[in-house]
Structure 1
């Protein structure tokens, strides 16, 4: 579990991290805004879509359309789980405000140390995380 604050709790039995109380992915932040604005931006309740068992919110219709066309690009990689922990075979939810776009993909991190470790060597982390993700994802689907 990622903390004791209900807003930070994520369902750790999901392939995509969602807030267990609201069903929102990345706590209602617009996943496309990380690319277009280079910063997290809250999405609007009237501009949302359901995808992969999560509710995704967007700042505007253009961002929603971009996401619907390419959720594989705009959605956080590894379902929003911290790639450092995924590389270790663990599912620890990333936080919307600890993020990095690297290689044209969005990554969320559970703590600043993970962000720094990933930024220092993304290729190695991605190699390890990718090899673990299939098994981890299957385990998450079984819960």
Structure 2
């Protein structure tokens, strides 16, 4: 019952925010805005080098997997280009808890955690509170489910 409540709430929020993966970003595997911007413009490298997210500059960008990423500095952009997989959020930037529940919903760049060198996002503070109660379990479940979800339109789930 809890899972159905979460799925319904998360699905509704996706529709309201409009922050879902789209064909403009090259498929359904990356969470982007309708303009193809990933992470709402937050610099993915900043989590790792600064220990916190920083907004990227519209003038410093890179395109990866059809999505546009912004960076706070050219150095961060260059680090990203050298090894994008090191800095990309897991599950294409969709919510880690939602992925474990079998849905693709927005991941908020301000609700994040680095676990074993990987960046995970969550949808909302209450969702993140639930996720941190069993991070290894939710990651294991999400890793298993991501293969089935990765190329599916969020609205089809």
CA distance in 1 between partners of 2:85 and 2:153 (Å): 19
Q: Is the 8 A contact 1:100 1:115 kept in 2?
A: no
Q: Which of the numbers 42, 46, 49 marks the counterpart of 1:29?
A: 42
CA distance in 1 between partners of 2:49 and 2:15 (Å): 29
1:38 aligns with 2:51: yes
1:2 aligns with 2:14: yes
Mean Cα displacement is larger for which, 110-119 or 96-105? 110-119
TM-score, scaled relative to structure 2: 0.80
Deviation string 1:11-62 (CA, Å, 9 cap, x unpaired) is 2452111111x32101111000011111111111111001011100001111
Q: Is the 8 A contact 1:2 1:110 kept in 2?
A: no
CA distance in 2 between partners of 1:12 and 1:118 (Å): 22
TM-score, scaled relative to structure 1: 0.88
SS in 1 for 2:58: strand
| Alignment gaps of 5+ in structure 1 | none
SS in 1 for 2:105: coil
Query: Counterpart of 1:114?
Result: 127
| Alignment gaps of 5+ in structure 2 | 1-12, 23-27
Aligned residues: 138
Deviation string 1:64-84 (CA, Å, 9 cap, x unpaired) is 111112211201100011111
CA distance in 2 between partners of 1:65 and 1:56 (Å): 12
CA distance in 2 between partners of 1:49 and 1:100 (Å): 23
Aligned CA distance change for structure 1 residues 119 and 110 (closer, same or farther; 3 Å): same
Query: Counterpart of 2:143?
Result: 130
Which structure is higher in helix share?
2
